[in-house]
């Protein structure tokens, strides 16, 4: 009996062709890939290009890790050598300028992609049951991204790096009881210096791989209940789905092409557009820059931090601004996911987006005059949106009727598009015929 089983297994193995077949029989990795992003992964047929940004975020992360590994090989994490090593990368290392500009601008595009991905989830309700844990994993990665980006911003050891590190790390000193000791331990002395720089360098390198590991878990959680869709309704049957490959891999490749064009334009034509000129000045503990600002993607949080006059209050507000996002699946009391069918929430979403943009504008402006008042009002609305408006609107709003299924909605949309085109096709000959007839008379 055992010999018969062995012959059967051998027969199955022979049917697999080549080296890939040999590997697949022993380690079915290609079948796993096919189930994850191939023909065996069912995807709602109506997902639009906003669903590209999840895969784009993964590509952006890979670019950051690869360019970061090259830069780490030439970087010197010392107070005396950090700035000079960055200049050496730019001037003496073969294609060092390319790797550095790709890494710096890649971080900006990484955040841009992730923020669009985040707001898409807020608009289409992708945080709702049963995807709450998927939402949480994404938020944890966002917090780690912010932490990693801040540490990376310190590494060039220019003026903005040094003073940015001084301002942000000083916030730990606001913690009751343990604040002073924690700050002393973090600095490794009585001021920002080499100990902090070395620590940030090691953590910046390490956290990139932690984010990559969490991204794998994030994808795992996504595949458990599959992707949401613009309608926010569940898959009812095979008529609602298409295989991920080739239909959506093609869309992802198109999005990746657009991403690379924008990436190349930044790297080759405007590499310093999103940076701070002060960071090309070596760190000087005796000369404070006139206006200390973080990178653009941290400006809304920086504005919230500055909106509260008290240092500890600002730290609490900043922490709550991130933590409140974890409660969104429960703060949103509506049973309908997509904002397409929620007329009031749709308006609130755009108001909230404008509020975040205002916070970014205020965060990049000097903390004086009207900017203080606008920042405080925008901060108040940020929390009111989540803690007050979201629960109330979910209870009081009357959503518009949902379609019966994804397939039904797709067919109806196609009919509407055809109906809009048909009159244009039919009217033209009639009009021209009437004109010619009139001319004949």
Beta bridge partners of 43: 242
**pLDDT greater than 80 at residue 432:** no
431 or 202, which is more confident: 202
**Mean pLDDT of the 218-245 span:** 94
**pLDDT greater than 80 at residue 434:** no
Whole-number pLDDT of residue 439: 43
Whole-number pLDDT of residue 438: 43
**Mean pLDDT of the 99-118 span:** 98
> d(Cα 301, Cα 195) in Å, to the nearest integer?
26
**pLDDT greater than 90 at residue 306:** yes
**pLDDT greater than 90 at residue 262:** yes
Q: Residue-wise over 165-186: b if at least 16 C-beta within 10 A, else e? A: bbbbbebbbeeeeebeeebeeb
> d(Cα 350, Cα 366) in Å, to the nearest integer?
26
Catalytic residue among 240, 295, 332, 355: 295
Asked if omega into 246 is within 30° of 0 (cis), the reply is yes
- Catalytic residue check, 223: yes
Q: How many CB atoms lie within 10 A of CB 24?
A: 17
- In terms of pTM, does the model score above 0.85? yes
- Catalytic residue check, 252: yes
pLDDT in tens, 383-395: 999 999 999 999 9
**Mean pLDDT of the 404-412 span:** 92
| Spatial CA neighbour of 373 closest among 307, 429, 417, 329 | 307
> d(Cα 227, Cα 236) in Å, to the nearest integer?
14
| CATH class of this structure's domain 16-226+241-292 | mainly alpha
**Mean pLDDT of the 408-426 span:** 79
Whole-number pLDDT of residue 122: 98
Catalytic residue among 251, 311, 397, 405: 251
Catalytic residue among 252, 276, 278, 332: 252
- Catalytic residue check, 227: yes
Domain boundaries, the chain: 16-226+241-292, 303-400
Beta bridge partners of 345: none
Sign of the CA dihedral running 284, 288, 290, 293 = positive
Q: How confident is the model at residue 419 (pLDDT cuts 50, 70, 90)?
A: confident
- Catalytic residue check, 251: yes
> d(Cα 322, Cα 317) in Å, to the nearest integer?
9
pLDDT in tens, 114-164: 999 999 999 999 999 999 999 999 999 999 999 999 999 999 999 999 999
pLDDT in tens, 20-63: 778 888 888 888 888 888 888 999 999 999 999 999 999 999 99
Catalytic residue among 227, 334, 338, 365: 227
């Amino acid at each position: 009996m055992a010999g018969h089983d062995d012959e059967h297994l051998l027969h199955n193995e022979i049917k697999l062709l080549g080296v890939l077949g040999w590997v697949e029989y022993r380690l079915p990795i290609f079948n796993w890939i096919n189930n994850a992003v191939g023909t065996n992964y069912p995807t709602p047929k109506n997902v639009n290009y906003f669903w590209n940004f999840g895969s784009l975020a993964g590509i952006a992360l890979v670019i950051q890790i690869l360019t970061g590994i090259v830069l780490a090989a030439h970087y010197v994490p010392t107070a005396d050598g950090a700035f000079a090593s960055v200049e050496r990368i730019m001037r003496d290392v073969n294609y060092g300028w390319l790797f550095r500009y790709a890494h710096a601008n890649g971080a900006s595009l990484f955040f841009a992609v992730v923020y669009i991905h985040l707001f898409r989830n807020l608009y289409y309700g992708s945080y709702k049951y049963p995807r709450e844990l998927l939402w949480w994993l994404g938020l944890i990665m966002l917090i780690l991204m912010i932490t990693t980006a801040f540490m990376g911003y310190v590494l060039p050891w220019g003026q903005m790096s040094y003073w940015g590190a001084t301002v942000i790390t000083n916030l730990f000193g606001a913690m009751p009881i343990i604040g002073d000791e924690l700050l002393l331990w973090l600095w490794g002395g009585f001021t920002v210096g080499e100990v902090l720089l070395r620590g940030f360098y090691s953590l910046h390198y390490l956290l990139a791989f932690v984010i990559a590991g969490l991204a794998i878990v994030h994808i795992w959680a996504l595949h458990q209940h599959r992707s949401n869709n613009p309608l926010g309704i569940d898959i009812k049957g095979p008529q609602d789905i298409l295989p991920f490959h080739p239909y959506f891999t093609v869309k992802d490749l198109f999005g990746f092409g657009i991403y690379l064009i924008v990436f190349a334009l930044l790297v080759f034509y405007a590499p310093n557009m999103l940076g701070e000129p002060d960071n090309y000045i070596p760190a000087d503990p005796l000369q404070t820059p006139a206006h200390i600002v973080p990178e653009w993607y941290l400006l809304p949080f920086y504005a919230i931090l500055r909106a509260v006059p008290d240092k500890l209050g600002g730290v609490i507000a900043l922490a709550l601004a991130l933590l409140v996002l974890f409660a969104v699946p429960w703060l949103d009391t509506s049973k309908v996911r997509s904002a397409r069918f929620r007329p009031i929430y749709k308006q609130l979403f755009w108001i909230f987006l404008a509020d975040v943009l205002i916070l970014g504008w205020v965060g990049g402006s000097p903390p004086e005059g009207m900017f203080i008042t606008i920042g405080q009002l925008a901060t108040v609305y940020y929390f009111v949106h989540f803690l007050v408006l979201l629960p109330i609107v979910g209870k009081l709003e009357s959503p518009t009727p949902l379609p019966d299924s994804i397939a039904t909605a797709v067919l109806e949309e196609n009919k509407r598009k055809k109906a809009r085109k048909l009159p244009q096709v039919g009217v033209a000959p009639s009009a021209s015929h009437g004109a010619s007839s009139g001319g004949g008379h």
